[in-house]
Structure formats: C-alpha cells, structure tokens
Amino acid sequence: MANFSAPMTGDRTFQLNGRPARYTVLYFYPKDNTPGCTTEAMNFRDRYDEFKALNTDVYGISRDSLRSHENFKTKLGLPFELISDPDEAVCTQFDVMKMKNMYGKKVRGVERSTFVIDADGKLVKEWRGVKVNDHVQEVLEFLQSQP
C-alpha cells in the first residue's frame, strides 16, 4: 500500500507509514453532519473501546475541511481523529470517488467504504458501498478473526 499523509483533527498529520504497528481502520464517508455519516460516526464511537482492545486505530476520512471535522468531532464526542481530504488525493488512492444519483441528478461523491490495514501496512480487508446498519459490527468481527 502506497504511503500517504493528510491533515487531521487535533492539529496533527496522518501518515500511513508513520503509524504505530497495529491495525488501522480507515472509513471513508461522504459529508460531516449528514444523517448516515452521523450515525456511522456514532457507531464507531460507541464501539471504540472494542477496537482499542483489538489493537486497532480508527480514522474517518471525508473531503470536508479541518474546521468542519473539528466541529463534527466535538459535536459527537468522537474519540478518534478525522482526516481531511479536500483535494481528493486519498479518496482517489483508495478509489472511492464515484458517480452517484442524488435526487435524480448525477453527482460525483465519496462512496461509503471501509479499509483495514494490518500492522505491516498491508490492506487486508475492504468494504465498498457500505450500508451503515451493522457495518461496525462486521468490521469488529473481521478484526476478531485475525490471528
């Protein structure tokens, strides 16, 4: 997996190759403060201790600004950082930019997707076109199945 770095909340920079030797969950979502994205963030928040117990870090990524991310993180009390990708560099690397139908119009946007990267930086699992309900449970079950 190619290294990348991107700004994130907490006035920090995420670096794929600079992270601790542990699992990393990167979940891509369309937009802060929208119903599905809020539910997904809260689901990751509510199960965060289970991810930590599995030696796993969680990061949300969207095209929103850092300011929007900081407000979203504070509003929901998220214990993990959000990565800002306004130029779509990370979204493009993970191939999550798709044409979608929005109220009958074709729009280009982020396809809700989740990726698990192991301690060696290898992509070990991906979900695309994610439906929010039960998704966090699926991710946890996958991580629990890892040696």
The contacts of residue 10 (CB under 8 Å, 6+ apart) are 81
112 is a domain residue? yes
What's 93's domain CATH number?
3.40.30.10
* Assigned domain for 7 exists: no
The predicted pLDDT at position 25 comes to 97
**Cα 53 from Cα 112, distance rounded (Å):** 25
Assess if residue 13 is contained within a domain: no
Range of the domain at 107: 21-144
Residue 15 within a domain = no
Specify whether 37 is catalytic: yes
Q: What is the model's pLDDT at position 102?
A: 73
Q: Which residues contact 16 (CB under 8 A, 6 or more apart)?
A: 1, 2, 3, 4, 5, 24, 117, 121
Q: What pLDDT, on the 0 to 100 scale, is given for residue 105? A: 87
Q: What is the model's pLDDT at position 3?
A: 86
Catalytic residue among 6, 37, 78, 143: 37
**Is 1 within a domain?**
no
Q: Tens-of-pLDDT digits for all 147 residues of the chain?
A: 788 999 999 999 999 988 888 999 999 999 999 999 999 999 999 999 999 999 999 999 999 999 999 999 999 999 999 999 999 999 999 999 998 887 888 888 999 999 999 998 999 999 999 999 999 999 999 999 998
Q: What is the pTM of this model?
A: 0.95
Q: Looking at the 3D structure of the chain, how many domains does it have? A: 1
Supply angle C-alpha 26, 28, 31, rounded to 5. Answer: 140
Query: 143, 125 in Cβ contact below 8 A?
Result: no
Rounded to whole angstroms, the Cα distance separating 18 from 82 reads 16
14 located within any domain: no
- What is the Cα–Cα distance from 117 to 26, expressed in whole angstroms? 8
